[in-house]
Amino acid sequence: MNSRKAEILVGGFVVLAFAAGMMLALKVANQSMAGQTETYTLNAKFDNIGGLKVRSAVKVGGVTIGRVDSITLSSRDFTPVVKMSISKEYNQFPETSSVSILTSGLLGEQYVGFQPGFEIEGIENLAEGDFIEDTKSALVLEDLIGQFLFSKGQ
């Protein structure tokens, strides 16, 4: 085995592995070439987050604008605090915006639905670290059934 041939074949091996990595990156994981875009952080308090998870999507009208960064329980009032990182591209949301936890499809994953508010004079845009006041919790099936039965009973 001469070393020239080995070098060529090893070169081919590396190219093949690189191609496989590229395929996984672009075609499978859909990683854009630009890399991570810059983000800013928004917080929201919910009564109940349901099945929301870290890395769940944050969407406006179906368009993903960011992801859930972390989910913690506030030590003061024992409500979940969801920290979201939102792409810097979308930094024009007014403070009146609201967020709710929605489900994609009947059995699908849960995501944060972001509803931009109205732009009125004197209302500032959301900035790094702000809390979104207007939140709607996840629908919990058991609660829904309970409400349904309660309303029937009346």
Residues that bind other proteins (CB under 8 A): 1, 3, 6-7, 9-10, 12-14, 16-17, 19-21, 23-25, 27-31, 53-55
Nearest approach, Cβ of residue 153 and other proteins (Å): 35
Closer residue to other proteins (CB): 24 or 127: 24
Q: Counting Cβ atoms within 10 Å, is residue 82 exposed (0-12), middle (13-18) or buried (19+)?
A: buried
Nearest approach, Cβ of residue 57 and other proteins (Å): 9
Using left for φ > 0, alpha for ψ between -120 and 50, and beta otherwise, residue 133 falls in: alpha
Closer residue to other proteins (CB): 29 or 149: 29
Which CA distances in Å does 142 have to 50, 81, 146, 147? 11, 22, 6, 9
d(CA 120, CA 90): 18
Nearest approach, Cβ of residue 104 and other proteins (Å): 10
Closer residue to other proteins (CB): 82 or 132: 82
Closer residue to other proteins (CB): 23 or 63: 23
